Structure 1
């Protein structure tokens, strides 16, 4: 093999590594990964959900917020950065599910995920009087409060993980984010 061919291969390897690796990292971070996203309200535990869900799309069809999307495997998920669950009256997605993968669950018992606050990003920690997450949370002070120091605190027993706080947060990246349980 000539030295030119070897150099050319090395050049293309380096080029692809510099282009493909960042693209793959971006896709992994921004595209829904199996098991790494929020399921609609009332979802069964992960393995039972995967086995029970018919992938029919009825939950997404009735969602008034258009929050329920479909993963590449056909199962429904919610990405609060795109559109959160608004905990609508009647929680229509659960009632529409024909397979039982989404079980009717009282609002206060729903656990889609859990919000967490990054104090290094939250503008309240810099002294700004931002209340956007508090004012928009559908569960109000059952899920989010201010502590004595004025910092936003997530109440783990009250947060349903709907993602409204994350979606309305004015900072980029968001100072409050919901993670799957």
Structure 2
């Protein structure tokens, strides 16, 4: 893969993580960038924004179907709900719909990076063993990040692409339209 071949698909492009990632990638000459969000955005020469309802599998397939050159998927989409159990269905469905669509459209997909957080280790429940390890037992579900990981592990088997999860303790940035529990 040459530098000119790197195409980032940033899912959750209008959120704290997605917006900052796009701003960073735009400073690098070797990336073309596609941002996905519910609201879309203003496209530029190197950044294409697409409005898409990630909970709608058909809309996601249609909107991502023309993105045949994506090499890197950066997934930072999130939908908040009132309870932990209610977080699972929409957050798993959105990732599933994106992976389904981009695998079908982009034969040169090289890597999927999913933004999660330290809650995957149970940090929101109280003290936990440190250092935490990915091999540690999961705490009692529901937890959508476990389901996202299970999905990516299963989908990656036998494929050329790889995946990773980013799990910071708490990203912070100024973004006036959004709030999120930490």
TM-score (normalizing by structure 1):
0.30
Structure with the largest fraction of strand? 2
Mark the structure with the bigger radius of gyration.
1
